[in-house]
Structure 1
Amino acid sequence: MDHLQAMRLFARIVELGSFTAAASDLDLPRATATHAIRALEARLGTQLLQRTTRRVRPTRDGEAYYAHCRRLLADVEEMEGSLRDANRHPRGRLRVDLPTALARVVVIPALPRFLARHPEIELELSTSDRFVDLVREGVDCVLRTGELPDSGLVGRRVALLPQVTVASAAYVRRHGRPASLAELARGHLAVNWKSPTHQRCEPLEFVVGRRRREVTLPGPVTVSGVEAYFACCEAGLGIAQFPRYRLAGCLAKGRLLELLPDAPPPPLPLSVLYPAQRHLPLRLRVFVDWLAELMGQV
């Protein structure tokens, strides 16, 4: 294994905390990875990694070496990427994580057009609504709703999704249809949403004129998963708020009814997040541009 490959292997071991995971990520035998790191430590004359029963961690020298490795590898990737981009079409595997509902309703139905435009790109998709550690999990980008987290990731906002307040037809028959926020606050129930990020219940939000108003309602159930949130609302357990794209069919069929249309929820920011890097691989750049184009139509 040459010096650059050994540095790349060492960096992935630090990021993943495991020889086995790093070897698998780079498609190497576990024994080859172990031998390469031993040879690297022998060449440098210092121990780079501390091995415990649960995790591999860098030593102090290993932390300093990792920082240098990342800078050097970024320089190499930038140089090679610039040359590749100038001489070929986007190609290669792209690992993407998408919100479950957005993937099913919007992104996946449009993917045939993207892949027809870029036939040499191979997509590896996962769907979730959880926090994803892009570096540790080897994910190239994620699409997420809400305000951007304070992290080392690069974020590009691609849309502001209109939202709607709804309840099931059965709920409205039992509890009535509120005509104002004051009436809503008296005697109505919500399916309460607990953010999986900061673990607290979120109030319902409304825009009246230019002012944002919050209303906290009691409710029989609290959820932290998008599909459960939707199912509970559809089952008549309370009022909920969703991006409008998610509910088009249910609203058209009358299964869900829009409430307080003159005081809609604020639009929901939608952003693509990816690791900071000076040279964005061409396959990732064209996918991010395509997502921005697609989400601008939602």
Structure 2
Amino acid sequence: MDKYAALQAFARVVECGSFTKAVASLGATNAAVTRSVQDLEAHLRTKLIHRTTRRLSVTPDGQRLYEHAADWLNDWHALEASVVDAQAVPQGRLRVEVGAAVARQFLIPALPLFQARYPEIEINLGVGDVVVDVIAQKVDCVIRGGEVEDESLVARRLGVMNYITCASPEYLRAHGTPTHPSDLEDPRHRVLTLFMPSSRKPRPMTFERAGERLTVDCRSTLSLNESNAYVAAGLAGLGVMSVGSLLVKDALLDGRLVRLMPDWACDHKPIYLAYASRRHMSKRLRVFIDWVVQLFEQEPLLRPGAQVPEPARTAAAPRRSPTSSTSALRRAA
């Protein structure tokens, strides 16, 4: 008796609820499937399936066997596929979800290198700041900021997004340069906030220096739910923003943005690549994960405590904040 074929035939009959449907699914003959199940029953010395002209029912012994057989068959098929996959050229479609700004500023510019190395892999790239359900939406992997709390996912830490405070030279000429976090609480300053679409709650602006930690309660004049739009608003001079240094590196280097209060550290956020836990991973997903990990390791700004690059040229000196003198007096008091 071919035990593998017998178990496969038995499991398919149980799943289909019919010998006729199982025969069509397996592409076998009715006699072959019936004989496989009968041989299995004879080998195990127990009845697995009760079959009448009208209905089919699984015995308690049959149900116990099916539960174990289904797991074993799934593992075998996955292992078989992984062995074949390991010998083949990585190919097929990958569904990847990534945050908007990281996609535009970092991942997409590097994708030509990946596609040149693996031309047979098709990437379906979902770009946005909405958190997706990896398993329910059948996503292969996600790249996201913040801790991964879903225990059904495997998470690989890629780096840290270090946040800084900055504004455009035009904004600073019009509103002054804040020198202390409390300056941002003055109504004459404009602050940009970023909120998640699910909660619509803005991320607070926090600062830390020499063990002192402040959360600024400032008036937001513009809130946005997408990181690329958030950066664009800062570049347009619409307000002061707290943003990942990697996302504004070029703007800082060419003077379109000016870093503010560099002695005050802002919050940082870990970046993870996460995927559904599975015993056997496709080769296309494995090579993509390895490539992403290497790509992020090569970016200095994604290391803890990384310093923002110095600007290539000095921007026109903005005037001093109208609130700076009063803030200094308040802090001295």
Q: 1:166 is paired with a residue of what secondary structure?
A: strand
Look up the match of 1:247: 248
Give the number of the structure whose alpha-carbon radius of gyration is greater.
2
Look up the match of 2:259: 258
Contact between 2:161 and 2:268, CA under 8 Å: does it hold in 1? yes
Using the aligned pairs only, state the percent identity: 36
Look up the match of 2:139: 139
**Structure 1 residues 179 and 293 mapped into 2: Cα distance closer, same or farther (>3 Å)?**
same
Look up the match of 2:203: 202
Give deviations 1:88-115, integer Å, cap 9, x for gaps.
Answer: 3332221112222212221122112222
Q: CA deviation at 1:76?
A: 4.0
Look up the match of 1:118: 118
Look up the match of 2:160: 160
Contact between 1:93 and 1:124, CA under 8 Å: does it hold in 2? yes
Q: CA deviation at 1:141?
A: 0.8
Q: CA deviation at 1:294?
A: 0.6
- In structure 1, what is the Cα distance between the partners aligned to 2:271 and 2:181? 27
Contact between 2:166 and 2:260, CA under 8 Å: does it hold in 1? yes
Q: CA deviation at 1:260?
A: 1.1
**Structure 1 residues 44 and 283 mapped into 2: Cα distance closer, same or farther (>3 Å)?**
farther
- In structure 2, what is the Cα distance between the partners aligned to 1:117 and 1:296? 19
Q: CA deviation at 1:284?
A: 0.9
Q: 2:284 is paired with a residue of what secondary structure?
A: helix
Contact between 1:7 and 1:69, CA under 8 Å: does it hold in 2? no
User: What amino acid maps onto 1:177 in structure 2?
Assistant: T
**Structure 1 residues 88 and 174 mapped into 2: Cα distance closer, same or farther (>3 Å)?**
same
Contact between 1:164 and 1:265, CA under 8 Å: does it hold in 2? yes
Contact between 1:180 and 1:260, CA under 8 Å: does it hold in 2? yes
Q: How does 1:96-245 map to 2 (within 5 A)?
A: 96-187=96-187, 188-209=189-210, 212-245=213-246
**Structure 1 residues 278 and 217 mapped into 2: Cα distance closer, same or farther (>3 Å)?**
same
Look up the match of 1:63: none
User: What amino acid maps onto 1:235 in structure 2?
Assistant: A
Q: 2:214 is paired with a residue of what secondary structure?
A: strand
- In structure 2, what is the Cα distance between the partners aligned to 1:101 and 1:70? 43
Q: CA deviation at 1:247?
A: 1.0
Q: CA deviation at 1:244?
A: 1.5
Q: 1:156 is paired with a residue of what secondary structure?
A: strand
Contact between 2:130 and 2:196, CA under 8 Å: does it hold in 1? no
Please tell me the root mean square deviation across aligned C-alpha atoms, in Å: 3.1
- In structure 2, what is the Cα distance between the partners aligned to 1:281 and 1:146? 26
**Structure 1 residues 283 and 70 mapped into 2: Cα distance closer, same or farther (>3 Å)?**
farther
Look up the match of 1:272: 273
**Structure 1 residues 172 and 69 mapped into 2: Cα distance closer, same or farther (>3 Å)?**
farther
Does 2:298 correspond to 1:290? no
Q: How does 1:10-21 map to 2 (within 5 A)?
A: none
Look up the match of 2:93: 93
User: What amino acid maps onto 1:92 in structure 2?
Assistant: G
Q: CA deviation at 1:44?
A: 6.6
- In structure 2, what is the Cα distance between the partners aligned to 1:175 and 1:198? 31
User: What amino acid maps onto 1:145 in structure 2?
Assistant: G
Normalised to the residue count of structure 2, the TM-score between the two structures is 0.64
- In structure 2, what is the Cα distance between the partners aligned to 1:44 and 1:99? 51
Contact between 1:74 and 1:277, CA under 8 Å: does it hold in 2? no
Give deviations 1:3-24, integer Å, cap 9, x for gaps.
Answer: 76x979xxxxxxxxxxxxxxxx
Give deviations 1:119-173, integer Å, cap 9, x for gaps.
Answer: 3322222212112122332221111112223352221111112322111222211
Unaligned runs of 5+ in 1: 9-41, 47-66
Q: 1:96 is paired with a residue of what secondary structure?
A: strand
- In structure 1, what is the Cα distance between the partners aligned to 2:118 and 2:142? 19
- In structure 1, what is the Cα distance between the partners aligned to 2:191 and 2:244? 17
- In structure 2, what is the Cα distance between the partners aligned to 1:90 and 1:210? 50
Q: CA deviation at 1:212?
A: 4.7
Q: How does 1:16-95 map to 2 (within 5 A)?
A: 71=71, 75-95=75-95
- In structure 2, what is the Cα distance between the partners aligned to 1:69 and 1:100? 44
Instruction: Name which of structure 1's ranges 113-122 and 276-285 shifts more when overlaid on structure 2.
Output: 113-122
Q: 1:202 is paired with a residue of what secondary structure?
A: coil
- In structure 1, what is the Cα distance between the partners aligned to 2:224 and 2:73? 42
Q: CA deviation at 1:254?
A: 2.2
- In structure 2, what is the Cα distance between the partners aligned to 1:70 and 1:160? 42
- In structure 2, what is the Cα distance between the partners aligned to 1:207 and 1:147? 21
